[in-house]
Amino acid sequence: MSHDTTIPVAVFGSGGMLAGELLRLCASHPRLTPRWLATREPLALAGAHPHLAELGSGMEIESVLDAVASLAHSNEQVVAFFAMPHGESSKIWPRLRATLASAASRVCVVDLAADYRIASADVYEKTYNERHPDPSEVGRFCYALPELAAEPLQGKSRLAAPGCFATALQLAAVPAARAGILDTNRPWIFNGVTGSSGSGNQLRANTHHPFREGNLYAYAAQGHRHEVELLQAIANNPGRADVHFIAHSGPFVRGIHMTAALPLVKNTTVEDARSIFQNCYKNAPFARVLASGLPELRHVIGSNRADIAVSVRGGVLSVFVVIDNLIKGAVGQALQALNLSMGWPETLGLPRAGMGVV
């Protein structure tokens, strides 16, 4: 494909918060052109996303499905992002797949929801308390966390973006788990704080920002769904650790601050631990392992970067990870994975610098 050619993009769920962030990043991506913006109900997208200029009108889902299929059947390549609530992607993708038929290989599908992240239909059912709507596709999507699996993403046309907390959990634990320095006979403890944007733009009493401002509270104390994604990532490691993750709602809009307390199985210095993380992320342009100090949210907000720091005390490895939940925890990561799948530079169209002041 010529560098002067752009690929048309369809966004399903265009009125949502994630879609707004996706469209903002697509506006500066040199290889993508948003063309079809599907909404579940008639919606003036300029009203939903007034920060974005020259947005077209939202289209009915059926019309977008037909338009994508028509172009794919004309031997053109298309990218389709599913930016809808959990459970919706696995209803829309089968409809598009049936319309595409033999042209399905010309459409790269990127799911931002949880529908295709888990490689087992049984595990999905246990985690989300419902049967998977599209079980034949379970395991066919490539789990798209580039820092830990960049090479398998190349050439893939079915991408499942990790959850925001799941991203931070894995960035914190997987390098040490792969290095074999963690004790799987003792619990791995995680505490993560997220901003109100993680709850989307639907008003709910327990997530509405006025109730979070000046407040901090925990939730999902009996287990968070994103734990499963970490367990899936370390499934091939010797031993099976008990993962205890407590999520918290913080009094800010964007960002995730994750703290992991990981028991060590052998004597490990902080220098050794830092070296493990630096080696794991040495080819990852968006993962920065700090040589000293601890990461802060304001340094990564507005970027696709993850800042990571480690500390060792009393047989416990502490790992600190900060990310922007809407970018590195969602749409930026999805674009990063798409870049890799298309053979483009991994950093194309993605911000590496945080805003600094938020």
pLDDT digits (tens, 9 = 90+) for 68-109: 999 999 999 999 999 999 999 999 999 999 999 999 999 999
Q: In whole angstroms, give the CA distance from residue 230 to residue 51.
A: 35
What's the pLDDT at 202?
59
Question: Which candidate, 17, 279, 330, 352, places its Cα nearest to that of 145?
Answer: 330
Per-residue pLDDT band for 39 (boundaries 50, 70, 90) equals: confident
- Give pLDDT tens digits for 2-25: 345 899 999 999 888 899 999 999
Cβ-proximal residues to 335 (8 Å cutoff; 6+ apart), any chain? 22, 25, 26, 29, 304, 349, 350
What's the pLDDT at 205?
64
Q: Percent of the chain beyond pLDDT 70?
A: 94
Q: How far is CA 153 from CA 145, 252, 340, 341, 349, in A?
A: 9, 33, 6, 5, 18
Report the catalytic residues: 164
Give the tokens for residue 157: 């046309």
Cβ-proximal residues to 297 (8 Å cutoff; 6+ apart), any chain? 252, 254, 255, 257, 322, 358
CATH topology match: 7-140 vs 165-325: no
Q: In whole angstroms, give the CA distance from residue 323 to residue 298.
A: 9
Per-residue pLDDT band for 42 (boundaries 50, 70, 90) equals: low
Given a cut of 80, is residue 346 above it in pLDDT? yes
Q: In whole angstroms, give the CA distance from residue 13 to residue 92.
A: 11
Q: In whole angstroms, give the CA distance from residue 79 to residue 72.
A: 10
What's the pLDDT at 34?
93
Give the tokens for residue 340: 């890799």
Say if CB 167 and CB 324 are below 8 A apart: no
CATH class as words, domain 165-325: alpha beta
Give the tokens for residue 26: 């697509």
- Collapse the DSSP code of 106 into the 3-class scheme (helix H, G, I; strand E, B; otherwise coil) and give the result: helix
Domain boundaries, the chain: 7-140, 165-325
| Global pTM value | 0.94
Q: In whole angstroms, give the CA distance from residue 265 to residue 243.
A: 16
From start to end of the chain, where are the E strands? 7-12, 32-39, 59-60, 78-82, 107-111, 142-143, 158-160, 188-194, 217-219, 243-249, 256-263, 287-289, 306-313, 316-323
Helices (H), 260-331: 270-280
Given a cut of 80, is residue 197 above it in pLDDT? no
Which stretch of DSSP H or E encloses residue 335? helix 332-342
At the fourth CATH level, which superfamily is domain 7-140? Answer: NAD(P)-binding Rossmann-like Domain (3.40.50.720)
What's the pLDDT at 324?
97
Q: In whole angstroms, give the CA distance from residue 320 to residue 289.
A: 10
For the residues 111-131, what does the mean pLDDT come to? Answer: 93
Between residues 220 and 189, the one the model is more confident about: 189
